[in-house]
Structure 1
Amino acid sequence: MSDGPAQQFPPPGAPPPVDPVPAAAGTVPMPPPGSPPPPAPAGWATYPTVPGPRPAPGLLLGAAHKPGALPLRPLTLGNIYDGAFRIIRFNPKATVGAAVLVTAVAMLIPVVVTLVLTFTVGIAVDASGEVDADASLSDALGALAAYGSLLLSIVLAQVGVVLVTGMVAHVTRAAAVGRRLGLGEAWAATHGKRWRLIGLTLVVNLAFLLLLVAYVLMWVVVVQVAGGPAPVVLWGLVTVPAFLALCCWLWIRFYYLPVPALMLEPVGVFGAIGRGWRLTSRQYWRTFGIALLTVVIAQFAGGMLSVPITLVGQIGMLAAPEYAALFLVLTQAAALVVQNAFVAPFLAAVTSVQYVDLRMRKEAFDVELMREAGIVPA
């Protein structure tokens, strides 16, 4: 038996029934499906729909502002190293190739000089690489000429590495916005700044040399006027750590960032030094920590790469003492080429990335890079 009359369903096409429960005061009924959205309440701002470029899909997500090797935001240590390796990997000719080229050309000089001297006048060098004291004058002069040409070539190679550092600064600037530079393009980008770059190198190295000479002269004075070893020991305990700390401080504030500043900004030698000084202001410890860690890594890796070549040279000098000078020069040249192939690009890339990072932190450089990459900042 049913408790009441059976419920009748409406026939097809009949209008929907009216809700017997009235809507609460202040509520807005839902619009029927397919109807246009209601206008925004008064006082609400609508999302602007101005014409112009739009970010590509995904650019507003986590990896949004990374059109190239670097995320366009303040960088972490991992970002800096990852960006440096990406720059080297995707621009090998303008980084590794340039470092190998300048080093190999410079080291070709002592190799040729030593070859000629070895098979003409002879070179008086023993198995340890030292000049034989019992040799004739011509043999001794040959050894001095070979070693002198090696020293000169090392200096020339370092000048070449300075030019490579300037090229890598332009490579880093281009990689930040997703562009690659070849060897010719990177070299052309340094046009008009090459002599300034060499002058900058001379200025900063001369300043450090004068500082070192002044400290050595102070040691000479202290030793002369001290009445015994106690004052000299006390002087050393106080001034040696202070001098090392001063050198580290000047390295970051005075020496570390002027090269990318000179390459990428319309400044001269002293203007570049001032730019490096201002960028590292209030950022000394972070910059110093990353720079010191980078130097340790680069020198360790470079040493590991050059150790096998040095061992081959030592074995050759023991096996054929008459060609000891030739083995020494050949292995030194090859070791320096291999070492610079990694050390020079890596140090230059990390330095340039740190320059970009400091400018993004202090000068909103990331906004300029986004604009150049075609990204509309959110």
Structure 2
Amino acid sequence: MTDGPAQQYPPPGAPPPADPLPPATYPPGPFPAPGTAPGPPPGPQPGPGPAGWAPYPSAPGPRPAPGLLLGAAHKPGALPLRPLNLGNIYDAAFRIIRFNPKATVGAAVLVTAVAMVIPIVVTLVLTLTVGIAVDASGELDPDASTADALGLLAAYGSLLVSLVVAQVGVVFVTGMVAHVTRAAAVGRRLGLGEAWAATRGKRWRLIGLTTLLYLAFLVLLVAYVLLWVVVVVAVGGEPLPVVAWGVITVPAFIALCCWLWIRFYYLPVPALMLEPIGVFEAIGRGWALTSRQFWRTFGIALLTVLIVQFAGGLLTFPVSIAGNIAAIAAPEYATLLLIVTQAVALVIQNAFVAPFLAAVTSVQYVDLRMRKEAFDVELMREAGIVPA
């Protein structure tokens, strides 16, 4: 891929560099420095980006004027090209979402809404045909027939299926946001179609990686539950040893899950998306990048999860209240109203939670690479910045 023509600008009075770095393409929008020149100056066509990175389409637009390049040398896009602090990471995540809304919020809303159509249609058909006899809380009426019970089972079963489908869609959104973050770091903006196209060749690997990680956690959880069963049987159900076992092992199990989350689960997705590696190599990259950076990475990740869960709860609380009130007012449609309410609440929650979590994770991936591998120099080279 080739970007639009651009030109290197040496400091005033200095001779031009003998081996200029590849210039950047600055799309119209928020990332270029203010006061840009009205049009691109003539210059050579740049070559492809650094090895291992997928090329991104570049929109034509103004380039920085000669006197402004060095002033914005360390922030050509959404984040400073240097090791980041917490404020930089959150600011970059918000900027990425704000200036790439279709590829972040739009993608999350789209996949969740499509998935939630399934239970709404199934429940609507069942309600208008066989009927579903439930009370206002959504529980089956004791006097309901077998058909009503099967209808309720089908309605909530379809909701469970749609939740799985929505989660798969969110996995793809996470991969897209990784590409959006990488492009935003060098001052480029990706639309929904461009971000989706950037995941080509890695989609099945992404599904495989996610499935592997979920299965590994499921095996760990089942093993811990079986240990509980063995202990309870071994002590004959005596309460004191069981309580002691719980006091010791529950905190230890939670700590183990947190450690595994950061070392194995947290960074493999952006690594898989943005590097020419496979599933197991991506897990290894996550391990290597979080080495000697566990507590800092864990603190930012945990704080982010707490923030998005609290904010998501605030956003969906009015919808849940409205759904419960509507179910009480129209009990014959209680199941349909509750399903619709949960679908709308999930769409609203994912519109905020999924893009922000994915953006923060991807920015942390870039930050750790800048800290450990001088990745900021590589990004500067791609952005066309000549280090002073």
Q: CA RMSD in A?
A: 1.5
User: How many corresponding residue pairs?
Assistant: 332
**Which 5+ residue runs of structure 1 have no aligned equivalent?**
1-46
**Could you say what secondary structure the match of 2:284 adopts?**
helix
In structure 2, the CA distance between the partners of 1:125 and 1:293, relative to structure 1 (3 Å rule), is same
How many Å separate the matches in 2 of 1:125 and 1:295?
35
TM-score scaled by structure 2? 0.83
* Equivalent residue in structure 1 for 2:277, among 264, 267, 271: 267
Q: Check conservation: 1:91, 1:171, Cα contact below 8 A.
A: yes
Distance 2:177 2:166 in 1: 16
> Which of 174, 186, 192 is equivalent to 2:195?
186
Amino acid in structure 2 at the alignment position of 1:64: A
The secondary structure found in structure 2 opposite 1:142 is helix
Shift of 1:237: 1.1
Once the two structures are superposed, the pairs formed by residues 1-378 of structure 1 within 5 Å of their partners are 50-51=17-18, 53=20, 56-61=66-71, 63-227=72-236, 228-378=238-388
Is residue 59–residue 65 contact of structure 1 (8 Å, CA) maintained in 2? no
Q: Is the 8 A contact 1:302 1:342 kept in 2?
A: yes
Cα distance in 2, alignment partners of residues 296 and 85 from structure 1: 17
Spell out, residue by residue over 1:28-67, the C-alpha distance to the aligned partner (whole angstroms, 9 max, x if none): xxxxxxxxxxxxxxxxxxx875445599424444x53100
Deviations 1:137-186 (A, max 9, x none): 11111111000000100110010000000000000000000000000000
Which amino acid counterpart does residue 292 of structure 2 have in structure 1?
A: R
- For the residues of structure 1 that align with 2:343 and 2:15, how far apart are their CA atoms? 63
Q: Distance in 2 between matches of 1:50 and 1:207?
A: 52
1:322 is paired with a residue whose SS is helix
Q: Deviations over 1:338-370 (max 9, x none)?
A: 000000000000000000000000011111100
Q: Tell me the amino acid that sits aligned with residue 313 of structure 1.
A: G
- Max radius of gyration: which structure? 1
Cα deviation for residue 377 of structure 1 reads: 1.8
Alpha-carbon offset, residue 268 of structure 1: 0.7
TM-superposed CA distance for 1:229, in Å, is: 1.6
Q: Write the letter of the residue equivalent to 1:327.
A: L
| 1:276-335 Cα shifts (integer Å, max 9, x gaps) | 010000000000000000000001111111011101100011001100000000000000
Give, in whole Å, the separation in 2 of the partners of 1:252 and 1:50.
Answer: 43
The structure 1 segments of at least 4 consecutive aligned residues displaced by more than 2 Å after TM superposition are 47-61
Aligned to 1:11: none
Q: Residue in 2 aligned with 1:31?
A: none
Deviation string for 1:206-253 (max 9, x for gaps)?
Answer: 100100000000000000111422211111111111100000000000
In the alignment, the residues of structure 1 paired with residue 293 and residue 263 of structure 2 have an alpha-carbon distance, to the nearest angstrom, of: 10
In 1, the alpha carbon distance for the partners of 2:17 and 2:133 equals 81
Q: Percent identity?
A: 81
AA partner of residue 137 (structure 1): T
Classify 1:326/1:51 alpha carbon distance in 2 versus 1 (closer, same or farther; 3 Å). same
Q: Give the conservation status (yes or no) of the 8 Å contact 2:73–2:385.
A: no
Structure 1 residue 115, shift from structure 2 partner: 0.7
- State how far apart, in whole Å, the 2-side matches of 1:91 and 1:333 are: 25
